[in-house]
């Protein structure tokens, strides 16, 4: 650890302040406490383990650095948007996935500019493409397809070359559910028992991902099943959506929903709850940007200790997501059997990460092709009055 490494970790995760303590510990923060602490050079005397010529705090002293160029360039969150993945555009001549092209100077294009513009227009979907284009929409004109190869959103933004703005026939989409007024018409769940959202639990483990092709064969689902039954988690809470979860740098401190974790290595997140069906029909669960591995169990498969590696309704790994032709027998989405409006359906989703970068987002598409907003259709429990 060095001051430069710690500052880079914090900046990449959107923090203005970086602090070092006790040779190698790195801490990040968006602001300093309102309480004033005495500044003293005497408590920060320990050399960095990565560069002994530099100081990395003390036993009870924190060496603090401030990024004068803050905010760090990061496209999210902007106006409530979250990443929605990289998708093909103008796929097989079926038209644009977002239809409202914005008249903005291409030379200044960044995700921030596009998201702010779409947000000001009240659009829940925003997308950047080809380095210089901004597209908005009230809905996706067609569900993102399952292409034979993955689109690449690697074109640098004309307005900031440190960021990406889609690619050639590839659009980088963001979604703001607070602006989505086109939710599925139909019934709504009973939320009288304070049950909005789904439960999540964070677990630590020591399963390395050194599998050929990033298949993560050493990830042991049964281990987490036992841990869950015994309530042996390191942190838990309630979230209103499945993702996004994002770890940008190996060893960097991360926040999983509202749970702060020391680093992003060797963790798993188990989501448990119910999907309320507002209308009759089949629903589609879609995993995007999976790194390293994610599972879905739906209905009876998800109950109690039933869930295993073999009976998962959906399983995605890094290799399946980025190179689907390498494992064509593993689908990227799960279509439920016909669901009955007004009923609650239990499910679990497990994300696992070994070392390094981790990403995960999930979506649900309803019977009429519209995106299902997790809020209020995800609930932690079924209220007594609805049983």
CA dist 39 and 19 (Å) reads: 14
Q: Which whole number is the average pLDDT over 216-229?
A: 92
Query: What does the pLDDT average to over 273-286?
Result: 93
Instruction: Give the predicted TM-score (pTM) of the model.
Output: 0.58
How does residue 369 score in pLDDT terms, banded at 50, 70 and 90?
confident
Is it the case that residue 327 has pLDDT exceeding 50?
no
Distance CA 256, CA 252 (A): 12
> Is the pLDDT score of 16 beyond 50?
yes
Query: 235 pairs with which residues across the strands?
Result: 202
Cα separation, 17 vs 9, whole angstroms: 10
**Which range has the worst mean pLDDT, 23-37, 162-176, 302-316?**
23-37
Beta carbons within 10 angstroms of residue 140's beta carbon: 23
User: What sign results for the dihedral spanned by CA atoms 258, 262, 265, 267?
Assistant: negative
The rounded distance, in Å, linking the Cα atoms of 331 and 329 is 6
Closest listed residue to residue 197, CA positions, set 12, 2, 383, 381: 381
Give, for 379, the enclosing helix (H) or strand (E). strand 378-379
pLDDT band at 374 (very low <50, low <70, confident <90, very high): confident
In this structure, what are the phi and psi dihedrals at residue 80, rounded to the nearest 5 degrees? Answer: 85, 5
Residue 103: strand pairing partners: none
- Please give the pLDDT value at position 110: 92
pLDDT beyond 70 at 134: yes
| Of 211 and 55, more confident | 55
Summary mean pLDDT of the chain: 81
């Amino acid at each position: 650890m060095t001051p430069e490494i710690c500052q880079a970790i914090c900046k990449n995760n959107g923090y203005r302040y970086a602090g070092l303590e006790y040779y190698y510990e790195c801490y990040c923060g968006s602001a300093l406490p309102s309480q004033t602490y005495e500044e003293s050079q005497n408590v920060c005397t320990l050399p960095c383990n990565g560069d002994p010529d530099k100081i990395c705090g003390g036993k009870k002293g924190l060496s603090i650095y401030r990024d004068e160029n803050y905010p760090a360039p990061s496209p999210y969150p902007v106006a409530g948007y979250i990443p929605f993945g990289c998708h093909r555009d103008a796929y097989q001549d079926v038209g644009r996935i977002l239809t409202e092209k914005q008249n903005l100077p291409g030379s200044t294009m960044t995700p921030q500019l596009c998201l702010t513009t779409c947000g000001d227009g009240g659009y829940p979907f925003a997308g950047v493409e080809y380095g210089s284009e901004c597209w908005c929409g009230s809905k996706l004109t067609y569900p993102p397809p399952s292409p034979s190869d993955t689109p690449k959103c690697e074109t640098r933004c004309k307005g900031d070359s440190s960021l990406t703005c889609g690619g050639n026939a590839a659009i980088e989409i963001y979604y703001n559910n607070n602006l989505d007024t086109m939710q599925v018409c139909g019934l709504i769940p009973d939320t009288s028992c304070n049950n909005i959202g789904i439960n999540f639990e964070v677990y630590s483990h020591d399963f390395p991902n050194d599998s050929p092709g990033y298949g993560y064969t050493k990830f042991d689902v049964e281990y987490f099943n036992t841990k869950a039954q015994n309530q042996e988690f390191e942190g838990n809470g309630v979230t209103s959506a499945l993702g996004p979860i994002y770890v940008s740098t190996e060893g960097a401190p991360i926040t999983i929903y509202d749970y702060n974790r020391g680093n992003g290595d060797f963790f798993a997140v188990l989501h448990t709850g119910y999907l309320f069906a507002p209308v009759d029909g089949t629903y589609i669960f879609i995993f995007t940007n999976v790194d390293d591995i994610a599972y879905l169990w739906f209905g009876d498969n998800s109950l109690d200790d039933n869930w295993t590696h073999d009976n998962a309704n959906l399983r995605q790994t890094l290799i399946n997501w980025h190179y689907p032709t390498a494992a064509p027998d593993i689908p990227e989405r799960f279509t439920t059997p016909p669901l009955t409006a007004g009923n609650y359906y239990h499910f679990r989703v497990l994300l696992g990460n070994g070392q390094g970068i981790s990403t995960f987002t999930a979506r649900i598409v309803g019977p009429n092709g519209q995106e299902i907003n997790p809020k209020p259709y995800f609930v932690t429990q079924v209220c007594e009055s609805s049983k």
